[in-house]
A = this chain, B = another copy of it.
């Protein structure tokens, strides 16, 4: 198993990650606390978000009226796939329920620096494309600021420097695995990913996959010395690639992902062809022994997000496990759900074109942010 902000591979032992990163499991009590305030969400209930740092503190601040704010991000290295959208959807839900500000960092600098052959112009093209997909998730245009690093640096370089001054190479090397070959831009970049946790003098809550946690670990070491709160975080597992539940859906393995732009025919063909099945080799055997939903990617996708109805999911699970439902039938259910989701997403995406300006420059929060200078 390898888990860094730039690489996730092997069989993921999520419990081990909690121990290695030093985070805390998301307990039933804590989920219950969120549910009391915000209601229920499929990604909480089914354990897709499963670990945290100081979520209890963020909730306490909320209840005490001190509040909190949300921060998440996107590295615009290519078009977006389903795996990229999932934490955005959860973040949007939190915003809606807690009525808080959301900051979304689009890390064009990081992606340019990290990808050996990346051209700046190409990254910029994806930046605009990705922001449209993010806007389509339905964030509140008055309470959401989507920014790209290369633009907002104008307003925040001094605070980024203050953060950078607190992190030495030794720490960066230990936390991110930098080597002598790492370029000096990449070495500096973590300071920028820490920045948005200091956009307000409130506690920040970050919904993101657990591979991003090294940044928050560093943030928590230095935040108070700069006069800010240690950030809170709520960590998700990785959205599984079509080929199997190991690793994560990845842009660099084209056949592992369903892109937000994939049409119905493509979605069907990819799921039918690639989605790893927990079924048996022959119909006869399947009817007799049944399938294994625990390793079946189609079932896992339904569980994480696409079938929020617990009763229906239980029924699918039972029928698949018993052999009553065949792999093809299970996949058919997923195909339909994914296609409907993508169709609706693309409709919202078209409408979001007009909102981009609000999110990036003119909405209430965005225009406040462009009027600020972080020193």
Residues of A with Cβ closer than 8 Å to B?
109, 112-113, 120-121, 150, 153-154, 157-158, 161-162, 164-170, 172-173, 178-185, 187-188, 190-191, 375
Main SS of the interface on chain A? helix
Residues from chain B with Cβ under 8 Å of A162 in the complex = 120
CB distance from A98 to the nearest CB of B (A): 33
- If A112-B158, A164-B183, A168-B180 are given as contacts, then 18 extra A-B residue pairs at C-beta distance below 8 Å, sorted by A number, are A112-B161, A113-B165, A120-B158, A120-B161, A120-B162, A150-B161, A154-B154, A164-B188, A166-B183, A167-B183, A168-B183, A168-B184, A169-B169, A169-B178, A169-B179, A169-B182, A169-B187, A170-B181
Contact of A113 among B109, B161, B178 (CB under 8 A): B161
Residues from chain B with Cβ under 8 Å of A169 in the complex = 169, 178-184, 187
Instruction: Give the residue name and chain of the B residue nearest to A115 (CB).
Output: B165
Residues from chain B with Cβ under 8 Å of A172 in the complex = 184
CB distance from A16 to the nearest CB of B (A): 28
Contact of A109 among B161, B182, B185 (CB under 8 A): B161
CA gap between A45 and B113 in the complex, in Å: 46
Instruction: Give the residue name and chain of the B residue nearest to A159 (CB).
Output: B120
Most buried by B among A150, A154, A184, A375: A184
Instruction: Give the residue name and chain of the B residue nearest to A188 (CB).
Output: B188
Residues from chain B with Cβ under 8 Å of A113 in the complex = 161, 164-165
